[in-house]
C-alpha cells in the first residue's frame, strides 16, 4: 500500500495524491474528493521512513532517560510524561533511549543514525560526555538540568541552590539553629550530579548567612535508605531539629525514622525541601516544600527544542525554575529536645 497504488486506483499521478495529502498545491475539488475517497477506503498513510528520507527530518524526538535498571524517581517520571505529552501535541513521536554512561549503543544510534530531529537529555551531570557528543554531532538538544558551564547550550533546570537556601532561611526564621540536608545518593554526588552539588552549595551558603550549624548527608533514592539515613542522622546529631531534602523518594522512610524516634512533625522536628507536588501532599503532615513544576518543564523543554530545530543557528536559551516554597504543615517553631 503506497502512494502509487492510491494514484493508480484514483486514475491520477502520484504527485497529485501527494499534493492532496500536503495541500501544497491546488487540486480541483472533484479529483481531490476522488483521491480522498480511495485514501479513506484503503486507510492509506504515507510511509514514515520514505517521508523522513525525502524530507530530511523524522518528526521524532529523542528522550534520553536514566538507565532503566535503576528505578526512575517520580520527578523523572513526571518529566518523561510531560515531554511525551507535549511532543504528542505537536504530532511528534518520542524515541526512548535509556543511556547513562557514554558509548551507549542506544544513545549512539540516536545521535548518529539520524533517527530523531532533536533530543531532550535528562539527568545531566556537571561534566557530561553526552552533551559534547550531541554538540559535535550537530544534533539539536535541550537538557533538563545543566552542566557546569552551560552558557553555550539550551537548558531548563530547577534552581536547587536558591530553593534549598530558601528552605534553610525559612527554618532559621522558625528558630532552628541546627539543620541538616538530606541529599541524593553518594553515587550521584560522586558522579557530579548537578542538583546535588548546587543544593549543597545553597545549603552551605544559607547556613553561613544565618550562622547556623549544618550537616549534610547522602541518601539513596528509596524508602529504606531514607529511614536508615535519618535514623543515623538522629543518632549522630541529636541536636538537629530540622531537615531539608531534595530526595523525595526517601521521604516515606524519613517519616518512618522520625516516627520511630518518637518525634512528631512539626512539633518536635521540621521537614522541608524540594519535591514533586505529589510527594509533598502525600507526606504526613503535608510537606512545606518547593513544588517542582514538572509538567510545565517538560512542555517548555519540547518548546525550546522545537525552536532550536526550526532555527539551528539560533542563540541558546535557558529557563531556571525557582517555584515558591509552598507553606504546608511540616515545619514549625523549634522546640528544643
Partner DNA sequence: TTGTATGCGTTATCAT
Partner DNA sequence: ATGATAACGCATACAA
Which partner in a copy of itself, DNA, none is near 249 (CB below 5 to 8 A by kind)?
none
Closer CB to a copy of itself, 91 or 149, in the complex: 91
Query: Residues in the chain, how many?
Result: 337
DSSP characters over 280-305: HHHSSSPPEEEEE-HHHHHHHHHHHH
- Distance CA(116)–CA(200), nearest Å, equals 36
Instruction: Give the count of residues interacting with DNA (CB under 7 A).
Output: 30
Q: How far is the CB of 53 from DNA (least distance, A)?
A: 4
Q: Does 55 bind DNA (CB under 7 A)?
A: yes
60 binds DNA (CB under 7 A): no
Angle CA 73–305–109, to nearest 5: 75
C-alpha cell at 63: 528522550
Evaluate whether 322 touches 163 at the Cβ level (below 8 Å). Answer: yes
List interacting residues with a copy of itself (CB under 8 A): 43-50, 52-53, 58, 60, 63, 67-69, 71-72, 77, 80-82, 84-85, 88, 91, 93-98, 105-106, 108-110, 112-115, 137, 222-224, 252, 256, 278, 281-282, 284
Q: Which does 282 bind (CB under 5 to 8 A by kind): DNA, a copy of itself, none?
A: a copy of itself
Q: Label residues 64-99 b or e (16+ Cβ within 10 Å = b).
A: bbbeeeeebbbbbebbbebbbebbeeeebebbebbb
Residue pointed to by grid coordinates 531539629: 241
- Binding DNA (rule: CB under 7 A), the pick from 37, 41, 47, 89 is 47
> What residues does 149 pair with on adjacent strands?
none
C-alpha cell at 90: 505537536
Q: 171 burial class (0-12, 13-18, 19+ CB within 10 angstroms)?
A: buried
Looking at the Cβ atoms of 21 and 228, the one nearer to DNA is 21
Build a one-symbol-per-residue string for 289-308: x at contacts with DNA by CB under 7 A, - elsewhere.
--------------------
Residue 50 sits in the site that holds DNA (CB under 7 A): yes
Smaller CB separation from DNA, 110 or 121: 110
Whether residue 291 contacts residue 334, with contact meaning beta carbons closer than 8 Å, is answered with no
- Comparing CB distances to a copy of itself, the nearer of 8 and 114 is 114
Binding mask 2-41 for DNA (x = CB under 7 A): xxx------xxxxxx-xx-xx-xxxxx-xxx---------
Closest approach, Cβ 227 to a copy of itself, in A, equals: 9
Residues that bind DNA (CB under 7 A): 2-4, 11-16, 18-19, 21-22, 24-28, 30-32, 44, 46-47, 50-51, 53-56
Amino acid at each position: 500500500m503506497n502512494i502509487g497504488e492510491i494514484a493508480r486506483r484514483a486514475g491520477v499521478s502520484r504527485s497529485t495524491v501527494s499534493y492532496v495529502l500536503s495541500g501544497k498545491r491546488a487540486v480541483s475539488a472533484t479529483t481531490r474528493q476522488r483521491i480522498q475517497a480511495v485514501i479513506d477506503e484503503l486507510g492509506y498513510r504515507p510511509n514514515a521512513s520514505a517521508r523522513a528520507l525525502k524530507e530530511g527530518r523524522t518528526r521524532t524526538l529523542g528522550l534520553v532517560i536514566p538507565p532503566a535498571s535503576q528505578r526512575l524517581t517520580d520527578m523523572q517520571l513526571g518529566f518523561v510524561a510531560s515531554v511525551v505529552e507535549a511532543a504528542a501535541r505537536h504530532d511528534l513521536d518520542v524515541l526512548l533511549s535509556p543511556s547513562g554512561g557514554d558509548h551507549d549503543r542506544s544513545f549512539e544510534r540516536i545521535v548518529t543514525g539520524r533517527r530523531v530531529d532533536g533530543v531532550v537529555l535528562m539527568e545531566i551531570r556537571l561534566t557530561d560526555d553526552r552533551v559534547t557528543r550531541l554538540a559535535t554531532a550537530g544534533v539539536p538538544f535541550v537538557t533538563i538540568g545543566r552542566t557546569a558551564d552551560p552558557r553555550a547550550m539550551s537548558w531548563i533546570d530547577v534552581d536547587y541552590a536558591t530553593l534549598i537556601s530558601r528552605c534553610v532561611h525559612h527554618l532559621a526564621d522558625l528558630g532552628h539553629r541546627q539543620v541538616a540536608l538530606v541529599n541524593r545518593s553518594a553515587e550521584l554526588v560522586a558522579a557530579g550530579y548537578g542538583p546535588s552539588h548546587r543544593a549543597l552549595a545553597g545549603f552551605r551558603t544559607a547556613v553561613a548567612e544565618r550562622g547556623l550549624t549544618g550537616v549534610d548527608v547522602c541518601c539513596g533514592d528509596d524508602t529504606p535508605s531514607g529511614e536508615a539515613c535519618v535514623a543515623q542522622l538522629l543518632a549522630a546529631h541529636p541536636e538537629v531539629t530540622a531537615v531539608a531534602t531534595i530526595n523525595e523518594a526517601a521521604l516515606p522512610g524519613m517519616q518512618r525514622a522520625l516516627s520511630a524516634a518518637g518525634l512528631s512533625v512539626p512539633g518536635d522536628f521540621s521537614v522541608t525541601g524540594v519535591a514533586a507536588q505529589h510527594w509533598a501532599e502525600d507526606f504526613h503532615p503535608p510537606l512545606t516544600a518547593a513544588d517542582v513544576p514538572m509538567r510545565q518543564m517538560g512542555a517548555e523543554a519540547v518548546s525550546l527544542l522545537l525552536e532550536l530545530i526550526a532555527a539551528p543557528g539560533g542563540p541558546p536559551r535557558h529557563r531556571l525554575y525557582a517555584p515558591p516554597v509552598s507553606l504546608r504543615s511540616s515545619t514549625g517553631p523549634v522546640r528544643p529536645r
